[in-house]
Amino acid sequence: MVYRSSRYYQSIQLADGFFCYIWQGRGNNCNTCLFANVLRGERPHVIVDPGHITSEFGEACFDYLTKAMDENGFRVADIGLIINTHSHPDHCQANELVVKNSGAWITLSEEEDEFRNTLGEKLCSMLGLKAPQFTPLFYLKEGNLSLGTKNKVELEIFHTPGHSPGSVCLYWPENKILITGDVVFHGSIGRTDFPSGSLSLLKKSINKLSQLDVEFLVPGHSTEYGSIVKGKLNVERNFQAVKLFL
């Protein structure tokens, strides 16, 4: 494992070619994950949730992410695919800049795209936020997602509504890594008080995830308890603890 810290992102390598960028700034922004050198062709990297462009405090989130990736030797221009766990602006506002730099494809679930284009858009304008602008190339479906050919990454996609109607979580069985977006955090759960949020659906989603064999739980945001939950026992304890909120 490699740890590297800048003021705005802590970069953590959890497996061969897999990096987490943990947001350290003051404002709201998500954590980002990168599968490096996976896809065939000139743009081999896959990024999960590139986050905000700028936080509410004016922090240049995406510029800092670009710098943190550069320090690990990865360029935004070499990203071929963006996976969004869900469509909230703090997870996918920067999609458009990644696409501008690299021409990357975008994917999220169909349910989430529908939400984004209806209620989500209205919600953004009510909050005075710019609705994220992008066009997905294909939709994520529950089940296997095979990325690349040479350095193949076999993911399992789980449909995990509750925080948002089309939220997904990504499970990588080979390394027992679970990317949870805003479904479950270190010692906490995703908000369900947004329109289209549902505590009962979130409960079902978290129950489903808690059945998996996980060594590293990578949440979409850090909490006062921490960011990544490491170790199977700690992950199990975390699921037990967060189920008390449900």
Which residues make up the interface to Zn ion (CB under 5 A)?
A: 88, 182
- Cβ distance to Zn ion smaller for residue 88 or 159: 88
Quote the least distance from Cβ 194 to Zn ion, whole Å. Answer: 8
Quote the least distance from Cβ 89 to Zn ion, whole Å. Answer: 9
Give one DSSP letter per residue of the chain, joined into a string: --EEE-SSEEEEEEETTEEEEEE-SSS----EEEE-S-SSSS--EEEE----SS-TT---HHHHHHHHHHHTT--GGGEEEEE-SS--HHHHTTHHHHHHHH--EEEEEHHHHHHIIIIIHHHHHHTTPPPP----SEEE-SEEEEE-STT-EEEEEEE--SSSTT-EEEEETTTTEEEEETSEETTEE----STT--HHHHHHHHHHHTTS--SEEEESS-BTTBS-EESHHHHHHHHHHHGGG-
Quote the least distance from Cβ 182 to Zn ion, whole Å. Answer: 4
Quote the least distance from Cβ 16 to Zn ion, whole Å. Answer: 29
Quote the least distance from Cβ 43 to Zn ion, whole Å. Answer: 27
- Cβ distance to Zn ion smaller for residue 92 or 104: 92
- Cβ distance to Zn ion smaller for residue 183 or 229: 183
Residue 237: both structure tokens together: 């304890």
- Cβ distance to Zn ion smaller for residue 59 or 182: 182
- Cβ distance to Zn ion smaller for residue 43 or 88: 88
Residue nearest to Zn ion as judged by C-beta position: 88
